[in-house]
Amino acid sequence: MLDTTFIFDLASKAPTPGGGGASAYAGALSSALGSMVGNLTVGKKRYEAVEADTYIVLEKLAALRTRLIELVDEDARAFAPLAAAYGMPKATPEEQDAKDEAMQSALIGACDVPLEIMRSCAQVIGLCEFLAYNGSRMALSDVGVAVAFGKAALLGASLNIYINAKDICDRERAEAYTAEAERLIEDASALADTLYAYVLDEIR
Give contact residues for a copy of itself (rule: CB under 8 A): 2-8, 10-13, 18-19, 22-23, 25-26, 28-29, 31-33, 35-36, 39-40, 61-62, 65, 69, 72-73, 139, 141-142, 144-146, 148-149, 151-152, 155-156, 159-160, 162-163, 166, 196, 199-200, 203-204
Among candidate residues 87, 122, 109, 83, the one with its CA nearest the CA of residue 161 = 109
- Rounded to whole angstroms, the Cα distance separating 195 from 142 reads 11
- Rounded to whole angstroms, the Cα distance separating 177 from 116 reads 11
Q: How far is the CB of 78 from a copy of itself (least distance, A)?
A: 15
Closer residue to a copy of itself (CB): 126 or 196: 196
User: Cβ contacts of residue 122 below 8 Å, gap of 6+?
Assistant: 150, 154, 184, 187, 188
Q: How far is the CB of 51 from a copy of itself (least distance, A)?
A: 14
Q: How far is the CB of 82 from a copy of itself (least distance, A)?
A: 12
Q: How far is the CB of 145 from a copy of itself (least distance, A)?
A: 3
Closer residue to a copy of itself (CB): 97 or 183: 183
Closer residue to a copy of itself (CB): 41 or 119: 41
Closer residue to a copy of itself (CB): 2 or 52: 2
DSSP secondary structure of 5-64: HHHHHHHSSSSSS-HHHHHHHHHHHHHHHHHHHHHHHTT-GGGGGGHHHHHHHHHHHHHH
Closer residue to a copy of itself (CB): 77 or 97: 77
User: Cβ contacts of residue 166 below 8 Å, gap of 6+?
Assistant: 174
Q: How far is the CB of 39 from a copy of itself (least distance, A)?
A: 4
Q: How far is the CB of 92 from a copy of itself (least distance, A)?
A: 27
Q: What does the angle CA 68 – CA 72 – CA 74 come to, to the nearest 5 degrees?
A: 100
Closer residue to a copy of itself (CB): 37 or 119: 37
Angle between helices 171-184 and 93-134 (to 10 degrees): 20
